[in-house]
Structure 1
């Protein structure tokens, strides 16, 4: 590729330069020195070397005494997507970055939804990660909303996954002889064990990749349907998602479907986002209904 030989630290500063050109329209030596704690000389070198690499992307404006984005600007080091900007606001909101650490030169007034969930104990997460790494088993006291059992569960975790709201541990439950998801925040205690008796089969639902084909609700008019196709980046009027079978239930909920809401024994094909499942029978079979 064109810029593969550039060192990671240098590439990160080039990404920052493009981020500023993309979202602020300007970039100068001062903001580079402040964000990366480099000398003014190094900042100057970064700007001039970037200009050598991508001369069509910026030009020096002597009146403003800074570099400005040219009309021919095309990002080479960042994707130039809105998500790249918005993720900085999300990190700021969630406390993962301070206002001095995020990249936007000025932060607009904003807010994001903060889901109120029980925090995950770092000790528990470390024990789960260790068991995954060592392919070991754990005894877990787990608070299940569907069962009142108070006995410990012997589990073999092999992955963690997020449904967009909560983090789960994907594990083989020796007592029930099946792979299941366990919400990490519902684990009250965990202890490593040495279990040589339980045979752990392959988690086929985790390994298997299935298709979820979504299209605009057929009841929409042409203009509404075209708008939805653009919004979701559909190709040929369809959004094709390749997902793990074990994650399919969560993807359905993410796109506004309620897998528990059935009609004639199948998922009720109605989304709060005006979407429609094109391969309903296949999806219904994949979540264990057929």
Structure 2
């Protein structure tokens, strides 16, 4: 990166910070930029002026707190607000978003490194993999193409040379890795991976009208449904996470809350 490009990148980061302070925290001042980036008061003032020249009257200076605050017409210029943006930014400035702790699904970094090398070098790799039916592990050769996080565990999507089909291998169950070799079928041949389907979910029909309104708001539903675009290879994990495998659940509507509106796609998860 050239010196000029680096300076432009640094200025861009500071303008994004002003956006975030205004949008997420409700105000911004020179001290925010000085503390965050270690710049001089003069540079912080210059950045704020540059930002003001861009946004005009959508922010104003509040003399009582000596900070800029957004007006009703304010819209961020340099970021796309979303919950992921806030989570990342909040963690950086010491306001980490708290997450619910879950049981740790282990994965060897040595194993992960070998698998990622095989992915990036487009090669196959021999692994010893254990399962509930073969807890001692069996040796097989796979050609991995993607690492997947399901929300509770990591697995590698790969072509299995023994079964001659694409499968998911839980990272924590790969005991050892051995030699690299010629690649088998690649990601472009993984039909389930490359097929995008739409899962339509809606409020449980046994909920009251008022309760359905709550669920529709929770899941940003439009006209009583939310459309989830997902790879066919990942559909299994979506159905499992929300208990959507069966058309009729034994769980009360207030516990189940959502149902699958296009149940015919269940067969695609097999």
- Does residue 280 of the first structure (1) align with residue 270 of the second (2)? no
Instruction: Kindly indicate whether the alpha-carbon contact (under 8 Å) linking 2:123 and 2:180 is maintained by their aligned counterparts in 1.
Output: yes
Q: Is the 8 A contact 2:130 2:138 kept in 1?
A: no
Q: Which structure has the highest helix share of the two?
A: 2
Residue in structure 2 matched with residue 207 of structure 1 by the alignment: 194
Matches within 5 A, 1:108-127: 111-127=98-114
Matching of residue 103 in structure 1 with residue 93 in structure 2: yes
Unaligned runs of 5+ in 1: 1-5, 93-101
Matched, 1:50 2:38: no
* Counterparts of 1:199 and 1:52, CA distance in 2: 54
Query: Aligned partners of 1:17 and 1:161: how far apart in 2?
Result: 34
- Secondary structure of the corresponding residue to residue 13 of structure 1: helix
Deviation of 1:158 after TM superposition, in Å, equals 0.9
Whole-Å separation in 2 of the counterparts to 1:59 and 1:65: 10
SS at match of 1:56: helix
Question: CA 1:153 to 1:66, structure 2 compared with 1: closer, same or farther past 3 Å?
Answer: same
CA distance in 2, matches of 1:185, 1:216: 35
Find out whether 1:11 has 2:12 as its counterpart: yes
SS in 2 for 1:230: helix
In structure 2, distance between residues paired with 1:202 and 1:7: 41
The residue that corresponds to 1:225 in the other structure is 212
Alignment partners' CA distance in 2, 1:17 and 1:186: 45
What SS does the aligned partner of 1:170 have? strand
How far apart, CA to CA, are the structure 2 residues paired with 1:133 and 1:83? 27
Query: Judging changes above 3 Å, is the alpha-carbon distance between structure 1 residues 115 and 235 closer, same or farther for their aligned structure 2 residues?
Result: same
**Which residue of structure 2 aligns with residue 150 of structure 1?**
137
Given that 2:131 and 2:137 are in contact with CA atoms closer than 8 Å, whether structure 1 keeps it comes out as: no
Per the TM alignment, residue 12 of structure 1 is displaced from its structure 2 partner at its CA by: 2.0
Answer whether contact 2:156 2:168 (CA < 8 A) is retained. yes
Contact 1:140 1:155 in 2 (8 A): yes
Q: Is the 8 A contact 1:131 1:192 kept in 2?
A: no
CA contact 1:140–1:152 (8 Å) conserved in 2: yes
Bigger mean CA offset, 270-279 vs 223-232: 270-279
Figure out how many residues of one structure are paired with residues of the other and give that number: 260
Cα deviations across residues 73-102 of structure 1 (Å, max 9, x unaligned)?
A: 22222233344323445xx4xxxxxxxxx2
Which residue of structure 2 lines up, in the alignment, with residue 60 of structure 1?
61
Q: TM-score, normalised by structure 2?
A: 0.86
* CA contact 2:15–2:47 (8 Å) conserved in 1: yes
TM-score (normalised: structure 1): 0.80
TM-superposition CA deviations, 1:130-164 (whole Å, max 9, x none): 11112111111122124345331111101111101
Counterpart in the other structure of 1:28: 29
Determine the C-alpha separation between the residues in 1 that align with 2:209 and 2:105: 44
Q: Indicate if the aligned counterparts of 1:127 and 1:192 stay in contact, CA closer than 8 A.
A: no
Q: Which runs of 5+ in 2 are unaligned?
A: 1-6
Hey, what does 1:187 align to over in structure 2? 174
Q: 3-state SS of the aligned residue for 2:106?
A: coil
